[in-house]
Amino acid sequence: MNGENRGSFLSRMKESFRDSSGEIIFGMSDGTVSIFGLVAGMVAGAQTGNVVFLAGATAAVAATVSMMAGVFLDLESEQDEARSEAVQREVEICRDPECAVNRLMGDLQDTGLSAASLDAIRADFRKNPLAIAKFEDAVSCEEETPARKVPPYVHACWMGIADFIAAMTPVIPFAFLPLDKAKYVCLAGTAVLLFLLGIGRARLGKRPVVRTVLETMAIATAAGIAGVVFGWMIS
């Protein structure tokens, strides 16, 4: 890969990362909270770190695949629905072209176009009513966010990467450290990740940073407490 191709590839990667920022934040949040709750419950009843690692890693992989599939199918269904609506709109236009023209012209009345321009537009659409559908599609395309123009599999891939990395954060310490030490490293690593995730959520949604960070950490804490309580109940 030469320098030009490498630069183009990196540019596309950065663009797809930016357009998939919502899925990345959501994936990290889901992965961290769900697996941290599982790990907290396992620690309460496990005798060795290997058991916690095996259960956590297995759950992380399963959750990643599930989230990727969910995002892909959701976005693909939205695209299928949009195509179906476009076909239905063309059928309705063909059934009653004059009504379709009048409806569109009514929408254009308050755009500031002159009477001469409106008359010319009306005449053009009467000659070719199906152009109304193309016109409306062009307007919808302009209103569509850049993220919605990215293929579903790209969103799914970024979701999977973010979910897996976040999910493995509470799990990795148990692969290398004794149980009594790993649980503290797990807690510290998860806290740092949640802190950074809270900042990311705040920037993405333009929300108060402190409130969003505390909210993000509180949700994970609740999941951890629920996991511990359940672990104690069954151990």
Report pLDDT digits (tens) over 142-198.
Answer: 555 555 566 778 888 888 888 888 888 888 988 888 888 888 888 888 888 888 888
CA distance 39 to 174: 10
Q: What percent of the chain has pLDDT over 70?
A: 79
Question: Is position 4 within any domain?
Answer: no
Report the chain's mean pLDDT, rounded to a whole number: 77
Nearest to 172 by CA among 189, 196, 159, 195: 189
Residue 2 lies in a domain: no
Separation CA 191–CA 229 (nearest Å): 20
pLDDT tens digit string along 1-56?
555 555 565 666 667 667 677 777 777 887 888 888 888 777 777 677 888 888 88
Asked if residue 9 is part of any domain, the answer here is no
List the domain range (segments joined by +) for residue 98.
20-234
Q: Is residue 230 pLDDT above 80, yes or no?
A: no
**What is the CB neighbour count within 10 angstroms for residue 9?**
11
Prediction pTM value:
0.68
Please check whether residue 5 lies inside any domain of the structure: no
Domain membership flag for residue 77:
yes
128-148 as b/e: b if 16+ CB within 10 A? ebebbbeebeeeeeeeeeebe
pLDDT at 142: 53
Share of the chain above pLDDT 90, in %: 0
75, part of any domain: yes
In a domain, 12, yes or no: no
Domain count, the chain: 1
